[in-house]
Each structure stands twice: as structure tokens, then as C-alpha cells.
Amino acid sequence: MPLTVRQLVADPTLRITLRAGAEHADRELSWAHVSELDDPAAFLSGGELLLTTGVALSDSDKEISDWVRRLVAAGVAALGFGVGLRYDEIPAAVLDTAHAEGLPLLEVPLEVPFILLEKAVYQALSSEDHARLQLSHQQQRRLIHATLAADGAKTLVRRTAKLIGGWAALLDAAGDIVDSTHRGARRAVEQTARARRSRPGEIVFSTEGGEDVISHPLTAADGRVLGYLLAGREGVVGSLDHGVVTIAASLLTLFVRRTEQSRDALARAREAAMKMLIAGQISTVEAMADELWGGLPTEPIVVFTAQGDPRRLSAACELFEVHPHGAIAFALIDDHLSVIASHASANSALARLTSVSGLFPGISGEASWGELARAIRESRQAADDAARRQETTKFTAVISEGLSACFDRDRARAYAEAHLAPLLDSDRGGSEALRSTLEVWLAHNGQIDPAAKTLGIHRHTLRRRLDRIERLLGISLESPTSRSELWLELQLIDSDVDR
């Protein structure tokens, strides 16, 4: 505790006398300061023992009284007046005003140096700081020791509650309770929820319900909030030791970050193993599959691919972590989730994927492990279609629409329109109907006579038009590849194949 005026006067080595303000002798002294200025109030912060010999005092009793009142207004805890230099005794104006204002007034004899009083105050403050430091050190040791327990995070929460004389709770990043020492914590969680949502990375204080509550975020190095330490005890703000909560929050952050790092490392291992499976290294992955997924699914297998928002994909991964049903291999690869399940576990895997709002997986046909690469391609193609349809899609439904269904229609049509633009522009400016000529000729498998008959033109006219088409498009119609691509392009720009 800081030194009080009463304790200072009680020290027999100082030989000082309390002349006024005995009713406030239990005031604590924040500092001791010597000043002979005629107005030292501007240099005071409050709580000081001001020491003076009065050499700068006016001869006017009124001005002396005003001087004392200014000291009181500045918040001095006590006034030490040294006698034996200018004044043999404390001036009556000082004494009377000190009595009137309730200011503790100490008479300091000439033989007692002011520095002895300063040292007494400083030593008391130093002892208090030392005691506070020792307590803080002991609390830190107890918190650090808690981290050595098998369930370190849980022990740390309980140790925090004990040290602050209240309760504590660990929340996840969403603000839900993970662990708590007190049932009433839920009420405090709800009271501070709005402030956490509006200022997720800041410390939040609350005094509702007669409790001093602090919500301390657990943040990663990149600023992400990993969770919160919530603590409280009865009283106003400052009743609980915020230093203890800050240290405990730092230690809990290490635990939560370590858990997250372990989860990230496992996710990276699964991603690498999935890529090895796709590359055909089945036997190599089989040796580590138990630790990653509880084993490998049995044949025949089905592959699911889901793409979309990373948070939704992560949520789907957690469903496979928490509720495993048979060996189901899964991994996040780039911007999609790949899941491999046996035929027996396929429905369970699909149910978990579709339980996450906004995920529409693509599903491959059944395959053996040797056909995994093919099944992966099928599921990804089905996933592209599923994203467009906003519904779960099987690859069998994709292939039933033909080869054009496997293309990005918007991109393919844009290419077709650009490639056929010279042909279409020529039709707009003339009367040769080159587009319909090309379409009829291709429909007759490149045969001149039946195509000319259908078009109602002479065979030589058809040949001239075909020559013009070759020049406009810069291609050779003798090429089977060119003829196939032109046919597909014509189909893509027809309005009846638009979706």
C-alpha cells in the first residue's frame, strides 16, 4: 500500500507534527515534491506531499490564503511547511486556511532535511511497486504452469478464474462457448456479443448486472480472431485484474494457434496424399491413409467434387472430421473439395456435402482405384455443370447432352461468333447466304451434288461459294478437323441451343 500522511507523521525519525487536516490524515501520498514557487499548482498532478519553506510567500494574508486554496484545488494530499528559515512558525494565514480546507499541514523542523521526507515517500512507493511486481510474477508463473497440464487450455481457463476471484470462459471465433467455469457466463457472452461483432479485434469491457466483465480477443499474427477469453467478477470496471486476463489470453492464443496449425498441417498432408492418389501412387498413400482418413475406401469407388466459397468447403471438411462413416478420403485442392467414397458410403458422403448450404457437388460414375484419374475428371466436369445449374449433378446427366455440354458454353460461343464473323458479315452485305450454304454442305457430309440440290443452286455456284468461305475464314474445307469445328460453331450460335 502507498504511504499515508498518518504513517509519515508516525515515523519518529522524522520529528514532524500534524498541525491541521487530521480528518484527512489517511490520504495516500503519490509523490513528494519540493517547490518554492509562488504558484506551483501548474506543476502538480494530484496526491503529492508538497514541501516548502515559504520563502516566496506574499506578506498579504489574503494572498497566502489564496495560495493555499490553489494547492487544494490542484489536489495536493498534504503540505509540509519547513520552519526555522523565513518563518519560525507556520504563518497563521496558512494554518487557518488549511484548517478551513481540510488540508493536512505538517510542520517540519529546520533540522529535518526535506530529502528525508522525499525518501520516505519514494521507498514506500518502491516497496509497493516491488510487491505488485512480485504478485504479477507469481500470477504469471501460475498461469504458465497451467499450460503444462494435459488439458492446458481448460486448466488455464480455470486458473484465470481463480486468480481474478471470479469466472472465465473460452469462446471460439464465432463467439460460442468452448469451455467455461461458471454457468452465468452465457449471460455475459450475450451482453458482450454485439460489441464483439462490431469490434471483433478489440478488448471489450462491460459492467452490466454489477459485474466487471472483459472480453479479450485471441488473435493470430495476421490479425485473424481465433477466439475470445471472457472473464468477470462482481464489481465495477477495474475490480478484476486485467493484467491476469491479458497474460492468460496470450497463452490461450498459443494453444488455439497450435490447434489451428495442426489442422492446417493435416489439411496439407491430405492435399498431398490426394494428389498422389490421382497420380496413381495408391500403394504409397495406403501406408498413411489410416492416419489421414481412417483408411482407403474399398472398390468400387465414387468421386465427388464440390466447388464454391472457401468457408463452405471448410465447413464440409469439418463434417467429415467430426462424423466419419467408413473410410472416406477427402481433401481441399485449390478451390474445390475432392471426396472419394466407397459405393456403400456414397450416400453418406453426399448427404454431408449437400447439408452445407450453397454446395452443389458433381458426382462421377463408379470406378476402380486404377480408374481414379478418369473419375476425378468426371466429377469435376459434373461440378462445373452443377455450379451452373445450382443443383447436384451426376456425370451421366452431363454426357447425355452430348460433347457440347462439356464446354464452357459462353466461352465457346464467343469464339464461334468471332471466328465466323467474316462469314456472317458477308451475308449481311450480299445475297450469297454463305452461312446457310456452309451449314447445308456440312449436313450433307461435304457432298456437292446433294447439297446443291437442297440449296437449289448449280453445283458450280456451290463450289464458288465454298471457295469464298475458305478465303473469308482462312481455312481449308478439305480438313476433317476444320469441318467438325465449323459444324460445332454453327450449332453454338444457333439460338435453339442457348440456355
User: pLDDT by residue (tens digit) across 416-462?
Assistant: 888 888 888 877 766 568 888 888 898 888 899 988 898 888 989 98
99 pLDDT tier (thresholds 50, 70, 90): very high
- As for how many domains the chain has, the answer is 4
The answer to whether residue 131 is domain-embedded is: no
The answer to whether residue 35 is domain-embedded is: yes
Whether 284 and 387 share a structural domain: yes
Whether 101 and 154 share a structural domain: no
Output the pLDDT for position 388. Answer: 83
The answer to whether residue 376 is domain-embedded is: yes
Last residue of a domain, one of 371, 405, 439: 405
Q: Is residue 403 over pLDDT 70?
A: no
Output the pLDDT for position 455. Answer: 87
Whether 400 and 422 share a structural domain: no
Q: Is residue 323 over pLDDT 60?
A: no
Q: What are phi and psi of 51, to 5 degrees?
A: -110, 130
Whether 184 and 108 share a structural domain: no
Average pLDDT on 69-83 reads: 93
Whether 24 and 56 share a structural domain: yes
23 pLDDT tier (thresholds 50, 70, 90): very high
Whether 283 and 401 share a structural domain: yes
Whether 181 and 217 share a structural domain: yes
> Do 194 and 215 touch, CB atoms closer than 8 A?
no
Whether 10 and 63 share a structural domain: yes
Q: From CA 253, how far away is CA 260, in angstroms rounded? A: 10
Average pLDDT on 184-209 reads: 82
pLDDT 10s digits, 324-353? 556 889 998 878 899 999 998 899 889 888
The answer to whether residue 134 is domain-embedded is: no
Find the range with the poorest average confidence among 23-32, 278-287, 401-410.
401-410
Cell of 438: 456452309
Summary mean pLDDT of the chain: 83
Q: Is residue 145 over pLDDT 70?
A: no
The answer to whether residue 128 is domain-embedded is: no
The answer to whether residue 335 is domain-embedded is: yes
Give the DSSP H or E segment for 228: strand 225-234
Q: Is residue 1 over pLDDT 90?
A: no
Output the pLDDT for position 499. Answer: 40
CATH number at residue 470: 1.10.10.2840
> Do 328 and 317 touch, CB atoms closer than 8 A?
no
Q: Dihedral of the CA atoms 99, 101, 107, 110 (nearest 10)?
A: -130
Whether 182 and 299 share a structural domain: no
Q: From CA 417, how far away is CA 498, in angstroms rounded? A: 13
Residue in the block written with cell 480472431: 225
The answer to whether residue 263 is domain-embedded is: no
Q: Is residue 401 over pLDDT 60?
A: no
Cell of 274: 490426394
Chain centre to alpha carbon of residue 39? 54
Convert 399-463 into a string of H (helix), E (strand) and C (coil). HCCCHHHHCCHHHHHHHHHHHHHHHHHHHHHCCCCHHHHHHHHHHCCCCHHHHHHHHCCCHHHHH
Residues of the chain with pLDDT > 90, as a percent, come to: 19
Whether 412 and 392 share a structural domain: no
Output the pLDDT for position 326. Answer: 65
Q: pTM for the full model? A: 0.43
Whether 18 and 71 share a structural domain: yes
Q: From CA 499, how far away is CA 492, in angstroms rounded? A: 11
> Do 256 and 227 touch, CB atoms closer than 8 A?
yes
Give the domain range for residue 358.
279-405
497 pLDDT tier (thresholds 50, 70, 90): very low
Q: Is residue 385 over pLDDT 60?
A: yes
CATH number at residue 203: 3.30.450.30
Find the range with the poorest average confidence among 75-84, 139-148, 193-202, 282-291.
139-148
Whether 101 and 217 share a structural domain: no
Find the range with the poorest average confidence among 235-239, 280-284, 369-373, 488-492.
235-239
pLDDT 10s digits, 213-264? 888 888 877 788 888 988 888 876 666 777 788 888 888 887 777 766 667 7
Q: Is residue 175 over pLDDT 70?
A: yes
Output the pLDDT for position 147. Answer: 60
The answer to whether residue 42 is domain-embedded is: yes
Average pLDDT on 283-298 reads: 86
Cβ-in-10-Å burial (0-12, 13-18, 19+) of 174 comes to exposed
